[in-house]
C-alpha cells in the first residue's frame, strides 16, 4: 500500500510539472491572428494611468508630474516611439493601454528611486474586434549595464529627481513598443 501511494504521488507530481512546462502563453483572441510580427502598424487609441506616488514621499509640494500630465507624457513617448520604430499608422490596429505607475521615493522622501509599473495592452482592428490582449507584471526599469550602474549611483547618492523621470518614461515606452512589435506571426 505504501509503495502504490508513493508511486501515485510521484506520478501526480510529474503530471503537474509536465503540464506546466507544456503550457504556452497565447495573447491572441482571434485565430489565426491578423497581426504581423514587426510589420503591423499601430496607433494609440487610449491610455489610462493610475499614479501611486505615496511610497516614501514626505514632501507635500508637487514638483513631480501629476497623474494627468504623466499620462500625457506616456502618450507622447509611446506615439514617438511607434513612429521612430516605423510602427505607427492611424487607421491600422488600435492599442488601448491600462497602466499602473508607482513613483518610489528614496529615503528622505524627496529623491527618486526606480519606478515600479505594470500594464495591460489590448489590440483591436478597425471594427473594434479584440485581436490580442496581454499583461506585463509588476516591473521596474532596466537600462543597459553602464547606464544602470549610473542610475543606481544617482539613486544611492540621492541625486535622482524630477528631471530624471522622463528618462524612465522613455525607457518604459520604448520597451512597451518593442514588446508590441513582437506580437504576431
Domain membership of residue 18 (yes or no) is no
Nearest partner of 77 among 178, 173, 179, judged by Cα: 173
Domain boundaries, position 138 = 30-181
Number of domains in the chain: 1
Domain membership of residue 3 (yes or no) is no
143 or 54, which is more confident: 143
Q: Could you tell me the pLDDT band of residue 5, with boundaries at 50, 70 and 90? A: low
Overall average pLDDT of the 141-153 stretch: 93
Residues 6+ apart with CB under 8 A from 148: 142
Domain membership of residue 11 (yes or no) is no
Distance of alpha carbon 63 from alpha carbon 37, whole angstroms: 40
Query: Going by DSSP bridges, is the β-strand pair 130-140/93-104 parallel, antiparallel, or unpaired?
Result: unpaired
Domain membership of residue 12 (yes or no) is no
Does residue 15 register a pLDDT over 60? Answer: no
Domain membership of residue 55 (yes or no) is yes
pTM: 0.82
Domain membership of residue 83 (yes or no) is yes
Residue-level pLDDT at 82 = 97
The full DSSP string for 151-165 is HHHHHHTT---TTTH
Domain membership of residue 19 (yes or no) is no
Domain membership of residue 23 (yes or no) is no
Amino acid at each position: 500500500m505504501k509503495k502504490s501511494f508513493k508511486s501515485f504521488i510521484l506520478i501526480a507530481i510529474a503530471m503537474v510539472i509536465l503540464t506546466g512546462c507544456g503550457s504556452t502563453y497565447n495573447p491572441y483572441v482571434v485565430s489565426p491572428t491578423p497581426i504581423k510580427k514587426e510589420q503591423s502598424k499601430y496607433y494609440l487609441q487610449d491610455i489610462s494611468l493610475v499614479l501611486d506616488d505615496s511610497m516614501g514621499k514626505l514632501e507635500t509640494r508637487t514638483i513631480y508630474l501629476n497623474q494627468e500630465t504623466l499620462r500625457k507624457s506616456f502618450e507622447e513617448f509611446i506615439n514617438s516611439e511607434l513612429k521612430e520604430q516605423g510602427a505607427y499608422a492611424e487607421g491600422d490596429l488600435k492599442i488601448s493601454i491600462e497602466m499602473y505607475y508607482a513613483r518610489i521615493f528614496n529615503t528622505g522622501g524627496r529623491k527618486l528611486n526606480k519606478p515600479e509599473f505594470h500594464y495591460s495592452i489590448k489590440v483591436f482592428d478597425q471594427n473594434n474586434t479584440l485581436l490580442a490582449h496581454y499583461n506585463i507584471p509588476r516591473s521596474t526599469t532596466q537600462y543597459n549595464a553602464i547606464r544602470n550602474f549610473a542610475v543606481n549611483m544617482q539613486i544611492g547618492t540621492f541625486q535622482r529627481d524630477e528631471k530624471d523621470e522622463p528618462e524612465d518614461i522613455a525607457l518604459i515606452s520604448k520597451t512597451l513598443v518593442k514588446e508590441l512589435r513582437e506580437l504576431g506571426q
